[in-house]
Structure formats: C-alpha cells, structure tokens
C-alpha cells in the first residue's frame, strides 16, 4: 500500500492503516504564513475575506494534536520573522514567540507562501499556484505551499484565493487508488469536417458526475471532463465560469455543487477529509448558468452540433441567432445580444486544444480555450452582478 499520490510530487512511501473510529469535524481555520511580509492592502483584504469564507463553508477532519511551531519550521525553515494571516487578523511575529505558537495551535491548516519568481516569469499569465505537502498515512494534508506572482492588477483576488486554497486542500492533485475513468475518443464535428478528439475525466468524481448530468440535462455522460491529462481542473470549455476551471473570470466564478462534490470525495481511508456547508453552494449553484440544460450534443460532441440542434433555446455564451431575443443586464448598462459580437479573428495556425482539436482552416472565432467555437465577446470579463433575460 502506498501514500496518496500527489500529481506534482510523485512520492511513494509505505504506511499502515489508521483508525477512524473517533473522527470528528471542525471549521476550517487557515493560517497563511509568509516570510515575505504582507501583499498589497487590497490583495491582503481579499485574502482575509477568502479565509473567512472557508471558515464558514468548509469543515475538516480534526487532528488529534494541534499544529506546532516545530512542525512548521521543519517545512518552512529559513525565516525568523513571519507575517501570519488568519480569518481574524494579520500580524508580524517571531517564529519562537508564544503568540505565534498559539495562533498555529488555533489553526488546523497552514499555507506557506512561496515566491517562485522563475515560474512566474516563464508563464506571464500565471497569477498563483498551490499544492498540498504530502500528508502522513491516510490523514488529510496539514500544510500546503502557495506561490503568488507579483501580478496585482487582477480584479478578482477573492475568487483567485478560493481557487488556489481548494488546490491546497488537494482538489485535482491526488491520484486515487482505484482505476480512473478511461479516456473517451470521439469525432468532433465542425462546418469544415470532423476530427478525432478525446475526453479525459476528473478523479474523485462519482457524485459530481450526477450533478453534471443534471446541470447539463444529459443522462448519458461518461464522467466529469477535466482540462487535460493532469486532471487538476474542470474543463474550461465545458464548465466556463465555474470556480475550478483553469482560467478565472474577472467577474463571478461559481463554487458550484460540482466542485463541492469533488472536494468531498477527495480523501483516502474510511471517512471524508472535508465536508461542505451547503448554504455556501446552493446560492452559487443556482446562479451558475453556464451550460445549463445545453444537453448531450454539447457535453458529448461539439459546440457546432449543439448550435445546430439547439432549437429556440438560449445558447449564450455561444453565438446563435436565438440569443438576439435576449439582453445582458448589469447595474450600469443593458445591451441586446447580437451575432455582431461574435466576429473575432485569431491566428490559429499553431493552436491545438486540450482535447487534441486542431484549428480548422478559415476559423475566425474564439481561441483554443473555447475550442475555436463562436463565443460572444460579452462573455469575456462579464460583470459580477449580471443577468440575461428576454428583452
């Protein structure tokens, strides 16, 4: 038997099974520990907001013993003075101080801030990335590392930190003991012909599969599609503005029941590591409109097949003449959806999508993220407070 495999660490160690007879749960109390000081004030505020959200939204399996300064120094040894941010406050403390030890003792998950300048420079669009440190036995992670790039112009750090902290807890980063869902190979239809492409599916997603089936109104799906072979994220093209897709919107990104189910199913042993307070998923799931009732042609075949068979239904953000009956309404403006907003031109010659689709000749629509499908430009940076209604 082997330790849970982290996709990014690939470690193999022997362990014995742990007893789960006295497992209890408590609110997730996160401590963010940084040897680099505070981030800009607006970013630090959003970080604290996210910690408050996690404290209310997620419960975790309780450890028998509290986290200690000695444990932290074993994994984060090079700093003497540290900024520690909790849901309540942020302060600079010496690692050997009694107050620092007390704050760690009150926390049940610690995220260590790293500054990987080289990684940020290699990928200029990278905002942050996080991963848990390999847990002991069948226990949940106790520590994680988060790298935050110095790109502070992004306008939605609350969702960025929610996204990365879910990764820190293990979302999309563990390999299950049981076999994964086999890849599916199928023909992707376009106006220029068909191509053979693949679907790769998320692990820890048995319950989430039922949620996806209901959301898209397709009872014959094969699994919850991942965004590539690493299976770190939900598929961007399929799930759009769900919180756990790889590209966050500057507007609202929804923590839906899809991601909640995957998080709860991510564990080893007899009892779950995490429990989600459904008060915090119901509202966002209800607002999560992307792909709602799009049906099997969208989720199993192609956007073009979906648009061809959509009838009179709203297809936004994918362009169709049906959408011209609807208006996008925000607090400051109201506009009618129009096919004119779909005229985008990109250089597709070297682009290939995550499912193996190559840009077909003459494609003048969206880029590889949306599989070269016709996307309404209003979907890009759509405001948080919006709705789509008949005009």
Cα 375–Cα 229–Cα 123 angle in degrees, nearest 5: 70
Sign of the alpha-carbon torsion through 24, 26, 28, 31: negative
Other C-beta atoms closer than 10 Å to the C-beta of 31 total 23
Q: Which residues are within 8 A (CB) of 247 and not within 5 positions of it... i.e. 6 or more apart?
A: 236, 369
Tell me which of 46, 71, 164, 242 is the catalytic residue.
164
233 appears as a binding residue in the annotation: yes
| Residue 339 · residue 321 · CB < 8 Å | yes
Q: Examine the residue annotation and report whether 265 is marked as an active-site residue of this protein.
A: no
DSSP-derived 3-state class of residue 23: coil
348 appears as a binding residue in the annotation: no
Looking from the CA of 371 toward its CB, the CA atoms found within 13 Å total 25
Query: How far is CA 247 from each of CA 244, 320, 370, rounded to the nearest angstrom?
Result: 8, 24, 11
CA 161 to chain CA mean position, Å: 10
CA 339 to chain CA mean position, Å: 30
Tell me the β-bridge partners of 199: 184
DSSP string, 294-312: --HIIIII-HHHHHHT-TT
DSSP string, 351-379: -B-TTSPBPPTT--S--GGGTT--B-GGG
Separation of alpha carbons 254 and 211, rounded Å: 14
End-to-end CA distance of the chain: 60
The verdict on whether omega for the bond into residue 315 sits within 30 degrees of 0, i.e. cis, is no
167 appears as a binding residue in the annotation: yes
Of 364, 216, 211, 209, the C-alpha closest to 301 is 216
Cα 99–Cα 104–Cα 106 angle in degrees, nearest 5: 95
* Residues belonging to the active site: 164
Q: Residues annotated in the binding site, as ranges?
A: 163, 167, 233
Please state the residue numbers annotated as binding site for Zn(2+): 163, 167, 233
């Amino acid at each position: 038997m082997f330790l849970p495999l982290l996709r990014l660490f690939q470690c193999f160690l022997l362990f014995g099974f742990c007893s789960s007879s006295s497992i209890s749960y408590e609110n997730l109390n996160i401590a963010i520990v940084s040897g680099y000081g505070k981030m800009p004030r607006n970013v630090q505020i959003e970080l604290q907001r996210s910690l408050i959200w996690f404290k209310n939204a997620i419960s975790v399996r309780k450890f028998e013993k509290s986290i200690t300064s000695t444990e932290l120094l074993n994994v984060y040894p090079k700093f003497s003075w540290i900024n520690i941010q909790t849901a309540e406050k942020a302060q600079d403390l010496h690692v050997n101080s009694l107050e620092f030890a007390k704050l760690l003792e009150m926390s049940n998950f610690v995220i260590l801030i790293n500054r990987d300048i080289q990684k940020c420079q290699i990928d200029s669009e990278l905002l942050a990335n996080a991963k848990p440190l390999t847990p002991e036995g069948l226990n949940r992670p106790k520590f994680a590392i988060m790298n935050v790039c110095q790109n502070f112009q992004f306008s939605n750090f609350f969702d960025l930190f929610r996204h990365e902290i879910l990764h820190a807890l293990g979302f999309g980063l563990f390999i299950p003991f049981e076999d994964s869902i086999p890849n599916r190979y199928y023909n992707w239809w376009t106006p220029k012909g068909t191509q053979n492409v693949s679907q790769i599916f998320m692990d820890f997603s048995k319950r989430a599969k039922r949620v996806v089936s209901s959301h898209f109104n397709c009872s014959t799906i094969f699994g919850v599609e991942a965004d590539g072979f690493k299976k770190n994220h939900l598929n961007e093209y399929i799930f759009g503005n769900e919180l756990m897709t790889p590209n966050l919107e500057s507007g609202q990104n929804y923590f839906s029941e899809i991601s909640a189910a995957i998080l709860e199913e991510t564990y080893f042993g007899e009892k779950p590591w995490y429990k989600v307070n459904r008060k915090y998923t119901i509202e966002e799931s209800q607002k999560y409109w992307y792909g709602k009732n799009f049906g099997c042609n969208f989720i199993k075949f192609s956007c073009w097949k979906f648009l061809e068979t959509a009838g009179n239904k709203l297809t936004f953000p994918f362009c169709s003449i049906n959408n011209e009956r609807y208006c996008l309404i925000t607090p400051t403006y109201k506009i009618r959806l129009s096919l004119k907003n779909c005229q985008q031109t990109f250089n597709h010659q070297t682009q290939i999508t995550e499912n193996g689709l190559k840009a077909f000749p003459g494609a003048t629509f969206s880029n590889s993220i949306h599989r070269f499908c016709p996307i309404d430009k209003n979907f890009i940076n759509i405001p948080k407070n919006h709705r789509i209604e008949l005009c």
